[in-house]
């Protein structure tokens, strides 16, 4: 190819500094080329050698120099500058890469945010202002573009934290032949109009209160469940293992005032024994007593009712009061000695002789 067949990358940094690069190892594998440039026009061009080279494996692969005008001519020559290998004229203004936005401000109004930056002094109409944002629940950036240098967007959730970044873009083809954009300005983090250090710090005092209340409610709920389970367990245990009544409560006087001395207690509580005996007599015993009384009347013999309930041990000891306790209800299932006999106190609270 000819001298214009070499691909180069041309960047005009905010119309302040030029950077020209080329593929040195591919285009010129056997020599280290030299670079010259000029911003002059016509026959009065003054070529300037490159002072600041960019290197690729010790080979010259680019040059940095100051922007001095709207038009530019570049020349790539052999190592001693005697032979021109590449030549090109270009408009330096068509390769501008803008600087990042300066003095970026955010104005919040409910769910709407307006982002703006300082307006460049030259050719602001050639620039567009791009805003990108995302919450920590989004995977992709949302993008909005407006003319320089303000953009307005709405629909932000006040409960979410958002990341914001902005940049300037050069308009194509009106102002640039290449779609150059500035670097992104520093990323900022906002939540409902409040600037945060990062979206990891979006736990507000309100959310902390909600967390504390939730924990307290969970603890109370667990305590309630435990109480319900405890009550259920008490009912189950009572149904499986019923409580055995303690005889000292029905016969409190016997244990509190007579130290368990049954004879002494009986001597001082005749009316209580008689009432208790009548309350706890079995219907069969009453029927048997009535039948014997009728037989006694028919035979003309009258015997006291107490003799019906006597037993051998009581007759030998002439202890008529001992017979009166035959139908009392001790609360135990053990054998108790009484008047020379062993009395079995069963679960039905009756005395069995």
d(CA 346, CA 110): 83
CA 67 to the chain's CA centroid: 56
> Is residue 287 classed as helix, strand or coil in its secondary structure?
helix
Residue 352 has pLDDT above 50, yes or no: no
pLDDT reported for residue 322: 46
Task: Tell me the CB-side half-sphere exposure of residue 60, using CA atoms within 13 A.
Answer: 19
Task: Classify residue 243: in a domain, yes or no.
Answer: no
The CATH number covering residue 62 comes to 2.60.40.10
pLDDT reported for residue 150: 92
pTM of the predicted protein model: 0.54
d(CA 227, CA 146): 64
Tell whether omega for the bond before 172 is within 30 degrees of 0, i.e. cis: no
Task: Classify residue 174: in a domain, yes or no.
Answer: yes
93 and 140 share one domain: no
Residue 97 has pLDDT above 60, yes or no: yes
d(CA 221, CA 93): 72
Tell me what the mean pLDDT of segment 254-265 comes to.
72
**Structure confidence by residue, pLDDT tens digits, 202-217:** 555 556 678 888 898 9
Maximum mean pLDDT: which of 139-148, 256-265, 272-281: 139-148
pLDDT reported for residue 166: 95
Task: Classify residue 182: in a domain, yes or no.
Answer: yes
Residue 206: CB partners within 8 Å, gap ≥ 6? none
- Tokens representing 44 are 């009065």
190 and 125 share one domain: yes
Domains: count for the chain:
2
112 and 189 share one domain: yes
116 and 88 share one domain: no
d(CA 22, CA 9): 7
Last residue of a domain, one of 171, 196, 221: 196
Residue range of the domain that includes 69: 8-97
Task: Classify residue 55: in a domain, yes or no.
Answer: yes
pLDDT reported for residue 241: 67
Task: Classify residue 129: in a domain, yes or no.
Answer: yes
What residues are paired with 48 via a beta bridge? 37
80 and 135 share one domain: no
82 and 143 share one domain: no
pLDDT reported for residue 145: 93
Task: Classify residue 281: in a domain, yes or no.
Answer: no
Task: Classify residue 231: in a domain, yes or no.
Answer: no
Last residue of a domain, one of 55, 81, 97: 97
91 and 122 share one domain: no
**Structure confidence by residue, pLDDT tens digits, 282-322:** 444 444 545 555 555 555 544 444 444 444 444 444 444 44
Compute the mean pLDDT over every residue in the chain, rounded to the nearest whole number: 77
Q: Where are the beta strands (DSSP E) in the chain?
A: 8-13, 17-22, 34-38, 48-49, 52-56, 59-66, 71-77, 84-91, 96-97, 105-109, 112-116, 127-135, 142-147, 150-154, 162-170, 188-191, 194-196, 335-338, 341-345, 351-352
71 and 108 share one domain: no
183 and 110 share one domain: yes
322 or 272: which leads in pLDDT: 272
> Is residue 281 classed as helix, strand or coil in its secondary structure?
coil
Q: Could you tell me what percent of the chain has a pLDDT over 90?
A: 37
Which residue, chain included where needed, has tokens 């501008």? 96
The answer to whether 170 and 127 have CB atoms below 8 angstroms apart is: yes
pLDDT reported for residue 131: 95
- Tokens representing 20 are 């020209």
79 and 121 share one domain: no
134 and 91 share one domain: no
What residues are paired with 154 via a beta bridge? 112
Tell me what the mean pLDDT of segment 137-150 comes to.
91
24 and 45 share one domain: yes
Task: Classify residue 79: in a domain, yes or no.
Answer: yes
Last residue of a domain, one of 97, 126, 159: 97
Which class for 323: exposed (0-12), middle (13-18), buried (19 or more C-beta within 10 A)? buried
Q: How many residues does the chain have?
A: 353
């Amino acid at each position: 190819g000819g001298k214009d067949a070499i691909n180069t990358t041309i960047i005009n940094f905010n119309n302040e500094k030029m950077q020209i690069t080329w593929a040195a190892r591919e285009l010129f594998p056997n020599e280290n080329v030299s670079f010259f440039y000029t911003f002059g026009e016509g026959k009065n061009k003054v070529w300037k050698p490159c002072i600041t080279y960019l290197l690729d494996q010790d080979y010259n692969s680019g040059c940095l120099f100051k922007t001095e005008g709207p038009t530019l001519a570049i020349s790539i020559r052999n190592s001693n500058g005697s032979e021109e290998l590449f030549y090109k004229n270009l408009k330096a203004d068509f390769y501008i890469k803008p600087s990042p936005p300066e003095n970026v401000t955010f104005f919040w109004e409910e769910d709407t945010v307006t982002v703006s930056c300082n307006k460049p002094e030259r050719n602001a109409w050639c620039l567009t202002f791009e805003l990108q944002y995302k919450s920590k629940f989004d995977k992709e950036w949302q993008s909005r573009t407006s003319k320089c240098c303000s953009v307005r967007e709405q629909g932000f959730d006040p409960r979410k934290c958002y990341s914001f970044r902005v940049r300037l873009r050069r308009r194509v083809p009106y102002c640039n032949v290449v779609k150059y954009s500035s670097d992104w300005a520093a990323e900022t983090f906002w939540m409902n109009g409040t600037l945060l250090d990062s979206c990891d710090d979006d736990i507000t005092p309100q959310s902390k209160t909600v967390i504390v209340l939730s924990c307290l409610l969970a603890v109370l709920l667990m305590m309630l469940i435990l109480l319900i389970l405890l009550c259920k367990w008490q009912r189950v245990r009572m149904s499986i293992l019923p409580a055995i009544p303690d005889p000292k409560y029905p016969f409190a006087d016997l244990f509190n005032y007579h130290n368990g001395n049954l004879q002494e207690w009986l001597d001082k509580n005749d009316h209580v024994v008689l009432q208790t005996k009548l309350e706890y007599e079995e219907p069969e015993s009453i029927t048997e007593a009535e039948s014997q009384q009728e037989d006694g009347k028919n035979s003309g013999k009258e015997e006291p009712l107490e003799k019906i309930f006597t037993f051998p041990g009581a007759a030998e000891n002439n202890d008529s009061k001992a017979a009166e306790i035959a139908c009392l209800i001790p609360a135990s299932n053990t054998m108790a000695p009484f008047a020379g006999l062993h009395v079995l106190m069963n679960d039905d609270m009756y005395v069995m002789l």
